[in-house]
Amino acid sequence: MPAGGVLASKTLSSAPNPATVSVYNLNDSHRHALTSKHYDRLSLAVGYQVLRVIYTGDIINVQIKRSDVDFITEMACGDGHRDYVNARVSTTLWAGATDAEILAKVAQSMRKTGTGSIDIPQDRPLPRGKVLVGNARDALHHIATNHQADWSI
């Protein structure tokens, strides 16, 4: 009997990478904890002697299916989904603030997402102050576009 399955895809786009994780025959209390959103994040680790995390994401949707005697709990996930959708930034930047400083402010609004590798070869200062209000992802798109770069959550 299968223990479960994973269907995931990784892209370079800024949108969250999706995964569908299926777990067979969870008990009633664990299924209820997932469907009631008591648990809202998933971390998948695999390995033989050493476990390595291959996927971590927010659980977006949970479906329970039945196949003969098996209960299949299917979780649709997105890595960084909640921060991508909900994170908002509202701050005032001073003249001379650099893109690295702007990124740091935006990253603070994405509370469940850590910063990874950042490379800004030409960290330009702002010529004057700026008000930064709106979706955090829009600010990241703007900075990436200015540097002809990509970003990914």
Domain assignments of the chain as residue spans, ordered by start: 4-79, 85-146
Check residue 2 and give its pLDDT: 45
Least confident of 12-21, 27-36, 45-54, 63-72: 12-21
Check residue 148 and give its pLDDT: 85
The proportion of the chain whose per-residue pLDDT surpasses 70, expressed as a percent, equals 92
d(CA 56, CA 59): 10
CA-nearest of 129, 136, 134 to 151 is 136
What 3-state DSSP class applies to 60? strand
Diameter over CA atoms, the chain: 66
* pLDDT tens-place string over residues 117-141: 787 877 788 889 888 899 999 998 9
For the chain, the straight-line distance linking the first and the last C-alpha, in angstroms and rounded, comes to 35
Cα angle value 41/132/16 (rounded, 5°):
25
* pLDDT tens-place string over residues 6-37: 666 666 678 888 999 999 999 999 999 999 99
Q: Give residue 73's pLDDT band: very low, low, confident or very high (50, 70, 90).
A: very high
Sign for the pseudo-dihedral over CA of 36, 14, 108, 54: positive
Architecture of the domain spanning 4-79: Sandwich (2.60)
Neighbour count for residue 58 (Cβ, 10 Å): 20
